[in-house]
Amino acid sequence: ATAAPEIGGLHYNQANEIQAMDLAAQEKLPADHWWIDAGWYPCHGNWYNVGTWQEDPTEFPDGLRTVTDHARSLGMKQILWFEPERVTPGSELDLQHPEWLIRLPGQDNRLFNLGLPAAREFLTDLISQRITEYGVDLYRQDFNFDPLPYWRSQDAPDRQGLTEIKYVEGLLAFWDALRARHPGMFIDCCASGGRRNDLEVLRRAVPLLQSDYRFEPNGTQGHNYGVALWMPYHGTGGPDHYGDDAAYLYRSHMGPCHAFGPDRDDPRMNLGLLNRLASEERQVQPYYFGDYYPLTPWSLDNGAWMAWQYDRPDLSSGIVQAFRRAGSAELSRTFRLAGLDAQSVYRLRDFDTGRDTTHTGAELMGTGLTITLNHKPGSGLLLYRRLGPAPVPRSPRAATPG
């Protein structure tokens, strides 16, 4: 197959990974990282079978490092998926270290007990070795089941919570050890899509997939709107096709991190447009680390508009994104911007029309910025930059008698 691999995994082998990378490079699709998700290890055709953390030799006859080195030769770093806390029957961890696993009657999943120092040390050594061996630049850790019944099964009724406390402390220590051994390496905390984002986790890791509910634009807009209030870094997973509504769909998924795997063979795919949109995203991504201002109420209503602003006072510039959803009857909306200097002039660039306009900060924060989107669904993306102080109106001069 010539399609780029899907984020969901199950399609990974040495041949199709290298082929997909070469096709992406041929089409000049910009990417910082190449993402290999679940299914690269021996799993008997089902990614859900985990606990043997080595490449599948039948799928990667020359080793996984061959693939990651190829990614680096094309200018991309490597993301690799692991799920070390869950162990399924017949895997190496299940057979070799059953004493470190918590089991529940009637459940195939076992929980690898990170609260045990010996178990944690073993797992740290194992995963660290794989990171080095496979050339992993960004370690992605998933977690796809509920640990609470497992924790509770280990404690007496009057001692509930002790196993959980030790486990969570062990998880954090595990990540700290990996970061110490691999300086500069990022950790992606997934947990079935953004379901583990407490403060201690976010001190150590970032969610590259803020939710496993992906691809549908209204929902992703809702995610981005809300998550940005709390976390400066978060990621989305875009679809594998971008057809008639490509700009709307792509911009709905734009953010600090945006994973996409376009299907080159999909007849709906417009790779030229996709490249233009990706170039836009490159230009505006630094602004996602600025001050965030929602410009509309949060809504999933298909007849609504959604809009927000990111402002970088240190750069004297920012961006505005607006979305007119498919059911909206409103052609235009006016938004009052925030965080600007009322006494300054700003130049606004519309990415769709290429036109520049100038406005004072007082106008943008008072009267507001009117955005017109002729198509529905439709999207607008604007970049503004402070030019300097607004001209001071000159007072009329009285005539002097001759």
Q: Where are the domains of the chain?
A: 14-209, 291-389
Residues linked to residue 384 through DSSP beta bridges, in sequence order: 318, 348
Burial class of residue 48 (count of CB atoms within 10 Å of its CB; 0-12, 13-18, 19+): middle
Mean pLDDT for all residues in the chain: 93
294 and 225 Cβ atoms separated by less than 8 Å? yes
Q: Quick check: 265 pLDDT over 60?
A: yes
Q: What is the pLDDT of residue 4?
A: 32
Does residue 8 have a pLDDT over 50? Answer: no
pLDDT the model gives residue 401: 58
With cut-offs at 50, 70 and 90, classify the pLDDT of residue 395.
low
Whether 285 and 321 have beta carbons less than 8 Å apart is answered as no
Burial class (CB in 10 A: 0-12, 13-18, 19+), 402: exposed
| 25-71 per-position pLDDT tens digit | 888 888 899 999 999 999 998 999 999 999 999 999 999 999 999 99
Residue 227: pLDDT over 60: yes
User: Would you say 321 and 383 are in contact if contact means Cβ atoms under 8 Å apart?
Assistant: no
Give exposure, 237-267, as e/b (b: 16+ Cβ within 10 Å): bbbbbbeebbbbbbbbbbbbbbbbbbbbeee
Mean pLDDT of the region 213-235: 94
Give the mean model confidence (pLDDT) for residues 245-258: 93
Predicted pLDDT at 3: 30
Task: Give the end-to-end CA distance of the chain in Å, rounded to a whole number.
Answer: 90
CA 156 to chain centre: 40
> Which DSSP string do the residues of 308-348 spell out, in sequence order?
EEEEETTTTEEEEEEEE-TT---SEEEE---S--TTEEEEE
**Tokens 């792509």 identify what position?**
250
**pLDDT over 70 (residue 315):** yes
Exposed/middle/buried for residue 192 (C-beta within 10 Å: 0-12, 13-18, 19+) = middle
Mean pLDDT, range 280-289, rounded to an integer: 95
Q: C-alpha 68: how far from its chain's center?
A: 20
Q: Which residues lie closer than 8 Å to 205 by C-beta, 6 or more apart?
A: 141, 175, 186, 187, 188, 189
User: Are 175 and 185 spatial neighbours (Cβ–Cβ below 8 Å)?
Assistant: no
pLDDT (0 to 100) of residue 396: 64
Q: What is the pLDDT of residue 296?
A: 99
Under DSSP, is residue 125 helix (H, G, I), strand (E, B) or coil? helix
- Per-residue pLDDT, 250: 93
Residue 229 is predicted with a pLDDT of 96
CA 125 to chain centre: 28
How many whole angstroms separate alpha carbon 361 and alpha carbon 171?
48
Q: What are phi and psi of 69, to 5 degrees?
A: -65, -35
Distance CA 373, CA 371 (A): 7
- What is the predicted pLDDT for the residue at 242? 74
* pLDDT at residue 226 in the model: 96
The domain defined by 14-209 folds into: TIM Barrel (3.20.20)
Distance in angstroms (rounded) separating the CA atoms of residues 181 and 124: 10
What kind and span of H or E run contains 65?
A: helix 64-73
Mean pLDDT of 120-128: 99
Q: Is the pTM value of this prediction over 0.85? A: yes
Give mean pLDDT, residues 85-112.
98
CATH superfamily ID and name for 291-389: Golgi alpha-mannosidase II (2.60.40.1180)
